[in-house]
Amino acid sequence: MPLKIMSHTTAVSKGGFEMAKNWYPIIDYEKCVGCLSCVDFCPHGVFEVENGQPVVVNPDNCVEFCRGCQKVCDYEAITYYGDKEARKDG
């Protein structure tokens, strides 16, 4: 399925998922222990491993509002750029 740019958002459609341009994970390396559960979880290639740590290398591949990698992180090391809920708290 080809990518389609949505006129009302900055997301694109890929395989039935909304791929984000304004939503992607941010890793807090002070909390991250390098367990790589986020890398193992994500089927969209958002992460790669560099020096034993997860790194966000393809933020545009992140599915908007998925939060899957955040849910599998036992160390609360993942937040999201574009997360309006987080901005209310901070």
Q: How confident is the model at residue 86 (pLDDT cuts 50, 70, 90)?
A: low
Q: Which two tokens stand for residue 64?
A: 């908007």
For residue 89, what is the enclosing H or E element?
Answer: helix 84-89
pLDDT of residue 77: 98
- Total residue count of the chain as it appears in this document: 90
Q: Which two tokens stand for residue 8?
A: 């009302």
Q: Please check whether residue 70 is in contact with residue 79, taking contact to mean a CB–CB distance below 8 angstroms.
A: yes
DSSP one-letter code for 86: H
- pLDDT tens sequence across 16-74: 555 557 889 999 999 999 999 999 999 999 999 999 999 999 999 999 899 999 999 99
**Half-sphere exposure (CA, 13 Å, Cβ side) for 76?**
1
Q: How confident is the model at residue 84 (pLDDT cuts 50, 70, 90)?
A: confident
User: Domains, the chain, ranges and CATH?
Assistant: 4-89 (3.30.70.20)
- pLDDT tens sequence across 3-31: 333 323 344 445 555 555 788 999 999 99
